[in-house]
C-alpha cells in the first residue's frame, strides 16, 4: 500500500488557476514597467491598465447578455411550442366507424379484421 498522498482534482484545478493568475500579474507588471521605461508616467500606466480591464469586462458582460437573451428566446419558443400542441391525435379519423364510411375504404389496408370484407391472405 502506498503512503503517498494524492491531491484532489479540485486542488489541482485551484493550483493551475493560481499559476495562471500569477502569470497574468507578472505579465501586467512587465507591461507596466516597459511602458514606464518608454517614458509614460506610472499614473498613466495604471489608468491605461484599468481602462483595458474595464473594456474586457464590458465585452464579457455584452456577450453574457446576448447569451442570456438567446437562452430566453429558446425557452420562450419551447414554451410557445408546448402551449400550441393539442391533446388530440393528428390522425383525421377518430373512430373506426368513421373510417369505414370513407369512399374507397379497404379493410385489408387498415388490418380491420372485424370488417366483413377483410380477407386473410
**Average pLDDT of the residues in 18-30:** 97
The pTM score is 0.56
Q: How confident is the model at residue 90 (pLDDT cuts 50, 70, 90)?
A: low
Residue 5: its pLDDT value, please?
A: 84
H and E: helices and strands count for the chain: 3, 0
**Average pLDDT of the residues in 10-22:** 97
Residue 12: its pLDDT value, please?
A: 96
Residue 89: its pLDDT value, please?
A: 57
Cβ atoms within 10 A of the Cβ of 36, count? Answer: 13
Contacts of 112 (CB under 8 A, 6+ apart): 96, 99, 100, 118
Residue 61 has pLDDT above 90, yes or no: yes
Residue 87: its pLDDT value, please?
A: 61
Amino acid at each position: 500500500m502506498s503512503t503517498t498522498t494524492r491531491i484532489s482534482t479540485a486542488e489541482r484545478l485551484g493550483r493551475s488557476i493560481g499559476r495562471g493568475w500569477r502569470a497574468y500579474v507578472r505579465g501586467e507588471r512587465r507591461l507596466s514597467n516597459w511602458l514606464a521605461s518608454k517614458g509614460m508616467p506610472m499614473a498613466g500606466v495604471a489608468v491605461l491598465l484599468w481602462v483595458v480591464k474595464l473594456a474586457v469586462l464590458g465585452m464579457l458582460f455584452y456577450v453574457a447578455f446576448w447569451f442570456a437573451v438567446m437562452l430566453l428566446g429558446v425557452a420562450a419558443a419551447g414554451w410557445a411550442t408546448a402551449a400550441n400542441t393539442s391533446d388530440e391525435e393528428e390522425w383525421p379519423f377518430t373512430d373506426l366507424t368513421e373510417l369505414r364510411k370513407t369512399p374507397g375504404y379497404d379493410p385489408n389496408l387498415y388490418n380491420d379484421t372485424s370488417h366483413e370484407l377483410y380477407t386473410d391472405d
